[in-house]
Structure 1
Amino acid sequence: MQNKNILLLFLLFKLLITTTSKSTIEPCTTSDTCNSLLGYTLYTDLKVSELSSLFQIDPISLLTANSIDISYPDVEHHILPSKLYLKIPIQCSCIDGIRKSVSTNYKIRPSDTLSSIADSIYGGLVSSDQLREANSVTDPNVLDVGQNLVVPLPCTCFNGSDNGLPAIYMSYVVQPLDSLNNIAARYFTTLTDLMNVNAMGTTGISAGDILAIPIPACASKFPKDSADFGLLVPNGSYAITAGHCVQCSRGPRNLNLYCMPASLAVSCSSMQCKSSNLMLGNVTVQQTSGGCNVTSCTYDGIVNGTIATTLTPSLQPRCPGSQEFPPLIAPPTVVPRESLFAPAPSPSSLFDGTDGRSPKSSVVPSTGFTPALGPSGISSGASAACSLVKPLPTLTLTLVLLFVKLMIPVAL
């Protein structure tokens, strides 16, 4: 009997080791910033403007990051439903030698505790210990109502690339029913890549762990003197640039970046290509005996406040069909029932029109852009060191209690 108890204790110790929380740290030495994402589930119903204020971001960037159509009336005051999963775009900076975002501030309310702010309001993206350290809180049980807390949020850059291809990294909080295989499949990456990015020796993950997930992106080829040089558009998103005049998105079935006039374009400079009647995003095709003459008017960045366009003629073996933009959705009003009882889905699966809504889609001519490769490889500094100190999961506490109970007969 004693041997059986010892064997059981060994197995319990092994489980305790594998349920330790972890997160990815990206060391840094420069002041460069990059675009990053947070995977976030709404803790309550919030207006678009309220959620934007919570993370101190532009409401338009929040909507475009989730392919929500910004042309809907009064869209910034639309109420988003509780439990809705969204991508939150943030700027990732180098702070004290580590990539993180510290631009977010939160004003304490009467019923708040550090734990409720960390676990509920910010969805586990920060820990109560981090909040206490970042704000020099001496007594976590005594918070001043109205005080502004600095909220450090996790992010990674990894040179804006993943295995030599453009990517934007999303900080993802592992959910109770998640597995590493399912997360990899959900975000169109491989198990090996996900383990390499997070410097993991095993596939073991626990609820509350924070993983860096590479989201495939489409890179622009704008000249270096353009204000939007280096524009990256992640899968399932679109971008508004040139002073809200131009909308850019990746094709639904390829990595090309396509740009056209934005739906809210006002007070914009000319978007007509010189020496032609074509406007930005337009294309003409003419079938000839030698192939198909294709002429397109493409976006070439915003330079000194002026929208730059390029007229590109080419001869192709066959005439191309119309280019489809990924569908833009109406602001969500409900959360699909199946997502309430399953691991958090990828944002694109929430907005693919399968939940009964009829997403609006745009059909526009192909612009023929090809993505520029980002810097090759990922940062060798990625590690699984635990900067985010999390409370032990419930399962772990249960195992500890069982361990103590079993230790009594063993000691006797």
Structure 2
Amino acid sequence: MALPTAHLLLSLMLLFFASLATNSSSQSQPFKCTTSATCHALIDYVSPNTSTLSAIEALFSIKNLRSLLGANNFPLSTLPNQTVAAQQTIKIPFTCLCSNGTGISNKKPTYIVQSGDDLDHIAREVFSGLVTNQQIAAVNNIKNASLIHPRDELWIPLPCSCDEVGGERVVHYGHVVEAGSTLELIAEEYGTTKDTLMSLNSIVNDSSLMAGQVLDVPLKACNSSVIASSLDYPLLVPNGTYVFTANSCMRCNCDSAKNWTLQCQPSQLRPANNTWLTCPSTTLCEGADNLSIGNTTIVGCNQTSCAYSGFNNQTILTTLATVNTCPAISPGPGNNTSKIGLSWKFLFISVHLIMLCLHLLW
């Protein structure tokens, strides 16, 4: 009986250490960020229990429900008490701060400690493993993790980045890996490459990818006309999402089907702060008669649009954008290339007919 007992103990020990390895690898790791800047970022939140959008909004200190709706491309009419099922994934928008080679959320979200809480419970259960208890302790200067008290306010450092990828500005998205997923599937779904994901996340091989891991995924953003002096520059909106800007007076959405060009129009909402008493009723482009933001005129092959180019403390900025929509000329009947080709064919046939006639006469 001694041998089976030894085998049983060995098996239990292997399972125990395997469990430890799985838990440690599924913990959130810092994202690399060499840029000293702030930017907009996204991260997945897998709700551990049935919840509501308003509860998630409060948990992540999101200023306005519209931001949460836009990040998930939910209809603007969605109610705050909309149910979020257990294990449902919701994308969380937040501001990223880069410093000392890594990126973390900029002082938000904050969490008020409840009776019975400890840092491990807050990290693993409340925030679904998006952070570790060590990371929470570090940013809050907690020397002894057991010395937290109800009503203490803790800064939760979500991982993020503001770095360019391949020379392009992107929105860094903290994607929570699902069981059975692979780097190839994730890359294909979000329009990037396996090599890019491996480089950003310091992944040596595909087998090291673990369910629950928070993966840095770069999302391509729509091209915009927002100028560098605008208060919302750079306005980066990834495909399938929308945002409100210019004190909530403008709504901009990104749709890859529209040539990756940011589509902005007046939101018809009231201003989000006291900078303006009301949103502009019409926003006309300079140099265009009766052409306002979001409208387009077509003259021949030229399609001219009035595009949103940013805002300042006084007004909303616009610019005219013209695109030639005529198809490129390809070789075919009626163009010079075709005529030259026909001339050579005619000359070739003519020479052969002359030679045939001379041969018959001879």
TM-score when normalising by structure 1: 0.64
Does the 8 Å CA contact 1:285/1:293 hold for their aligned counterparts? Answer: yes
Q: Which residue of 2 is the match for residue 247 of structure 1? A: 251
Alignment of 1:148-187 (within 5 A): 148-159=153-164, 162-187=165-190
TM-score when normalising by structure 2: 0.72
Alignment of 1:122-141 (within 5 A): 122-137=127-142, 140=145
SS at match of 2:289: coil
Larger RCO of the pair (alpha carbons < 8 Å, separation 6+): 1
Change (3 A) 1:111 1:263: farther
Deviations 1:17-47 (A, max 9, x none): 98562734425473x2111111111223334
Higher helix share: 2
Amino acid at match of 1:128: N
Give the percent of matched residue pairs that are identical in Structure 1 and Structure 2.
Answer: 33
Does the 8 Å CA contact 2:35/2:163 hold for their aligned counterparts? Answer: no
Q: Is 1:66 aligned with 2:72?
A: yes
Does the 8 Å CA contact 1:220/1:229 hold for their aligned counterparts? Answer: no
The structure number with the bigger radius of gyration is: 2
State the alpha-carbon separation in 2 of the partners of residues 314 and 24 from structure 1: 42
Deviations 1:273-316 (A, max 9, x none): 34412221111224xxxx43433222221134311223445654
Compute the displacement of 1:215 (Å).
1.4
State the alpha-carbon separation in 1 of the partners of residues 173 and 167 from structure 2: 17
Does the 8 Å CA contact 2:177/2:214 hold for their aligned counterparts? Answer: yes
Alignment of 1:224-373 (within 5 A): 224-253=228-257, 254-264=259-269, 267-269=278-280, 270-274=282-286, 275-286=288-299, 291-312=300-321, 316-317=325-326
Does the 8 Å CA contact 1:18/1:205 hold for their aligned counterparts? Answer: no
Q: Which residue of 2 is the match for residue 196 of structure 1? A: 199
Name the Cα RMSD after superposition. 3.2
Does the 8 Å CA contact 2:130/2:214 hold for their aligned counterparts? Answer: yes
SS at match of 1:83: coil
Q: Which residue of 2 is the match for residue 108 of structure 1? A: 113
Change (3 A) 1:15 1:82: closer
Amino acid at match of 2:40: N
Amino acid at match of 1:310: T
Q: Is 1:146 aligned with 2:155?
A: no
State the alpha-carbon separation in 2 of the partners of residues 129 and 312 from structure 1: 50
State the alpha-carbon separation in 1 of the partners of residues 101 and 254 from structure 2: 33
Amino acid at match of 1:173: V
How many residues are treated as equivalent by the alignment?
302
State the alpha-carbon separation in 1 of the partners of residues 136 and 321 from structure 2: 53
State the alpha-carbon separation in 2 of the partners of residues 37 and 141 from structure 1: 31
Amino acid at match of 2:194: L
SS at match of 1:170: strand
